[in-house]
Chains A and B, each alone.
Chain A
Amino acid sequence: MSRKIDRRPGGIIDEDTRRQSLKRRLDGLERDNYQEVPELELLGTVIKPRRTSEVGDRDGAIANKKPRLRSKKEILRQLYIKKSLKTLIDESRVELASEDMPTYLTAAASPSKFPPKKFCSVCGFLSKYNCKQCGAKYCSLACKATHTDMRNTPVVEMEEYRDEAEEDDVEPELVAGLIGFGFV
């Protein structure tokens, strides 16, 4: 498995990029056919242009009047206009709901009160170290080598970084960090 990572050749991946990578990774886990991240999606969300002439009752205010008499074909044609959930959420204007009204947005569970554990990006056991270049966690030199081998070879030589392992200065359990195989 090789996931593509946004990075400048040989450079250190900055915080922003790491955060975006994490978000994409989590989004990837929601995909129906999660196999490869399409190139285009790496560049940001692709929004299909909408044919404004075809957006009827599904947009704007909900009909609070008699349904128009339409043929079944016409009803289905409108229902079949494919919209992403993101578009539908935007169009629902749920973010404009009054503060004391519970919605999808207010129902999200709060963050944990406990600090996250950190796992080796290679073997999945607890990790103590992280890669200086991409922030991925690893637990041992063997796993570090695998990590460097599998992820960085196209861009940087493995040897270059072998000695740059840095130990976290705090107990692993107490540090806010991540992840399976990911990025801080």
Chain B
Amino acid sequence: MADNPILVMDNGASTIKAGYAKQPETLHVIPNCKVTRGKGEKTTFTGDQLHKLSDYAGLYYRLPFEKGYLTNWEVQKSLWDRTFSRDILNVNPTSTSLLITEPCFNFPNIQHCYDEMIFEAYEFYACCRVIAPYLCGYNNVSSLFPSQTPSVNERPDCILVVDSGYSFTHIVPIVVGRPVLTAVRRINIGGKLLTNHLKEIVSFRHWDMMDQTYVVNEIKETCCYVSKDFLGDLDTGRRNPKENPIVQEYVLPDFSRNSKGYVRDKKRSSRSTNDIYEDQVLRMNNERFTIPELLFHPSNIGMNQAGIPETIVESVSLTHSDLHGLFYSNIVLVGGNASFPGYKERIEQDLRVLAPSEYEVRVGMPENPITYTWHGGSNYAGSPDHRNKLVTRAEYMEHGSNICLQRFGMSEDVDGMQE
């Protein structure tokens, strides 16, 4: 059994991160969607083929996930088929052990579908299914926190994973490798909502871009940042655009000329008007920081939930009081939204105000917050913890989904403390 290759697959709602354990060079990040040009079109672009497109206007998306949970298995299978194909990872399921992530608090009937697909349709040799934050903890987390005295442990006893992804944001406290499920909290804001909201605002204020999700997502990733002084930046945004450091001019891509979108130099734009091509320019002002601000204040669009820093405090308060200090000093930020400039600093800043003053607040962020889970999974693969959870196909065929429920479950004490 030790000889079977282990395929690590962080199957996210936005991207699939897949590759063989201990072989980071095999890691692929593949869009988890199928795309056609307009609804009902025949030509389909699956996963990585999306990169082959030269015109990203008017795309029609089909995603396997709905609100963060896997509901469309037909779409998911075609994306996994592509991922396992010779073109990408060349997987032979019957001799491969699969380590796959699932969302927090996945529903038992959906989990049953995972088991059927993996063991009965693909016939994987073995499988282990865990939540993504659990795998984050198998990285050298201590190295994210520079300190004078190097830590003996690569993995601190307590870590608090803040996973802000495509569908939602989860705060997950982990004690000695075990998630404290009673203290896990979810904020219903993720990257998809932010992109859709930006799309709506831009279409209302400037250009109709409702059918240009891809382009608006690029604008979001290029222009948006997390403000360290929200009210101050709102004041600045009111000033004359010419001397306003917040205002950016984003030149929209022109697919007929095959050009990419970019932020142009404001000083140069005024004198180059005799260019034969008239650039379509989108002026980004408060949109740059009010969009990511939703992660900190969902109430700004009427959602009745607290944002990330307040929810971190809520989550920590639900753990054993002896552990609070350890959680506040080992906060790890992962997921696509962590890439917004200023994200980490803002969480640190807000937490310093909200957390009890006797605790040190330390926030760490890996170099690549999108693949950090995969790398944790790669380390985890083959460990004793992994071997204890593994279910083989033979076991599944003997005991059914029940054995998966038992082995993959995260049994734990109520507040993360042993009695």
Interface residues of A (CB under 8 A from B): 1, 22, 25-26, 28-36, 57-59, 62-67, 70, 72, 75-76, 78-80, 82-85, 88-89, 91-92, 94, 100, 102-104, 107-114, 116-117, 119, 122-126, 150, 178-183
Known: A92-B109, A94-B107. A1 touches B204 (CB 8 A): yes
- Check A88–B112 contact: CB distance below 8 A: no
- Check B401–A64 contact: CB distance below 8 A: yes
Q: Give the residues in chain A near B46, CB-CB below 8 Å.
A: none
A86 to B116, CA, bound (A): 21
- Check A26–B71 contact: CB distance below 8 A: no
Known: A79-B121, A180-B301. A123 touches B402 (CB 8 A): no
Q: Annotate B288-316 by CB proximity to A: 1 below 8 A, 0 otherwise.
A: 00100000011111111111001100100
Q: Give the residues in chain A near B305, CB-CB below 8 Å.
A: 108-112
- A63 partner, pick from B62, B170, B286, B400, beta carbons under 8 A: B400
* CB neighbors of A among B41-70 (8 A): 60-63, 66-67, 69
Q: How far is the CB of A29 from chain B (nearest CB, A)?
A: 4
Beyond the given A1-B200, A109-B185, A116-B300, could you list 10 further A-B residue pairs with CB under 8 A, ordered by the A residue number?
A28-B196, A58-B113, A62-B108, A64-B399, A107-B105, A112-B306, A113-B310, A119-B290, A125-B238, A181-B201
Q: Give the residues in chain B near A84, CB-CB below 8 Å.
A: 66, 71
* CB neighbors of A among B168-227 (8 A): 170-171, 181-182, 184-188, 192-193, 196-197, 199-201, 203-205, 208, 210-211, 213
Known: A29-B196, A62-B402, A109-B187. A125 touches B112 (CB 8 A): no
Q: How far is the CB of A76 from chain B (nearest CB, A)?
A: 6
A79 to B62, CA, bound (A): 17
- A64 partner, pick from B121, B400, B414, beta carbons under 8 A: B400
- Check A62–B306 contact: CB distance below 8 A: no
A interface, over-half SS: loop
Q: Give the residues in chain B near A109, CB-CB below 8 Å.
A: 171, 185-188, 305-306, 310-311, 314
A50 to B259, CA, bound (A): 47
Q: How far is the CB of A43 from chain B (nearest CB, A)?
A: 21
**Lowest 8 CB-CB distances: which A-B pairs, in order?**
A116-B299, A64-B402, A92-B107, A112-B306, A104-B105, A178-B302, A79-B73, A1-B203
- Check A70–B105 contact: CB distance below 8 A: no
A179 to B294, CA, bound (A): 11
Q: Give the residues in chain A near B111, CB-CB below 8 Å.
A: 62
Q: How far is the CB of B71 from chain A (nearest CB, A)?
A: 5
- Check A91–B71 contact: CB distance below 8 A: no
Known: A62-B402, A109-B186, A116-B299. A85 touches B196 (CB 8 A): no
Jot down 20 A-B pairs with beta carbons below 8 A, ordered by A.
A29-B197, A30-B196, A34-B210, A34-B213, A35-B211, A64-B401, A65-B400, A72-B120, A80-B74, A85-B66, A91-B109, A94-B107, A104-B105, A107-B186, A111-B299, A124-B286, A125-B238, A180-B197, A180-B301, A182-B302
